[in-house]
Amino acid sequence: MNLITRGFHGRRGGDPDRIPPGQYQTHDFPVLTVGPTPRVDTDTWTLTITTETGTRHTWTWRQLLDLPQENPHTDIHCVTRWTKLDTDWTGVSLDTLLHDVETTADYALAHSHGGYTTNLPLQDLTDGQAWIAHTFDGRPLTPEHGGPARLLVPHLYFWKSAKWISGLTLHHEDEPGFWEQAGYHDYGDPWREQRYRGD
């Protein structure tokens, strides 16, 4: 009986169809940060989307929380090979934030407090694929995981999910971010194992 029970729980937690190639499942929530953890105060917090023409759209913390909130339930995949299944977040969809933003740009560069950047095609931020997340597992996102708010783009390797996000700039040309300049893949699809440039 014990073996059967263990096997059952093992399969429930480790569905191979949900672990991308080269990844292993973790139940922890590892912290991966380049440099010190910035302390960002919600009293002065803003998020700014700047279009390719220089038009700026800015939200305060209060304005972010007054927007429709979503509760994505999703798996996350770090390029250092851990995958965490069934994570629960609360945040605002980029569809909501981009709704009134007029742009013909194809690319976005996410900017974080502390200077981290990461680039994505703008179409990977729309259609229910990306959020500005402020809550993890029902609790305010802790500073080490990017609190008060981070980008969440779970279909790409987790380095694309910029912690302590301060804004997005929209561009006609792709501009590699921090890890992308350092040799990581420009796009970073975990299912195609796009870890490094050339993969």
Ligand X SMILES: Nc1nc2c(c(=O)[nH]1)N[C@H]1C(S)=C(S)[C@@H](COP(=O)(O)O)O[C@H]1N2
- From candidates 7, 8, 14, 32, binder to ligand X by CB under 6 A: 32
In the complex, minimum distance from the CB of residue 159 to Mo ion, in angstroms, rounded to a whole number: 4
The minimum distance between CB 59 and Mo ion, in angstroms, equals 27
Taking 3-state DSSP, the helix, strand and coil percentages for the chain, each rounded to the nearest 5, stand at: 20, 30, 50
User: What is d(CA 189, CA 153) in angstroms, rounded to the nearest whole number?
Assistant: 11
Q: Which stretch binds Mo ion (CB under 5 A): 14-22, 90-98, 129-137, 152-160?
A: 152-160
Q: CA distances (Å), 117 to each of 19, 59, 138, 141, in order?
A: 26, 19, 27, 20
Least Å distance between CB 33 and Mo ion?
9
Asked whether the CA dihedral 104, 183, 114, 61 is positive or negative, the reply is positive
Rounded Cα gap, residues 168 and 112, in angstroms: 9
Chain positions 127 to 156 lying near ligand X, rule: CB under 6 A, are: 145-146
State which residue, 29 or 187, has the beta carbon closest to ligand X.
29
The nearest distance, CB 171 to Mo ion, in angstroms, is 23
Q: Which of 78, 95, 155, 193 binds ligand X (CB under 6 A)?
A: 78
* DSSP H stretches of helix in the chain: 2-13, 61-66, 94-98, 178-181
Contact residues: ligand X, CB under 6 A: 29-34, 78, 112, 114, 116, 145-146, 158-159, 161-164
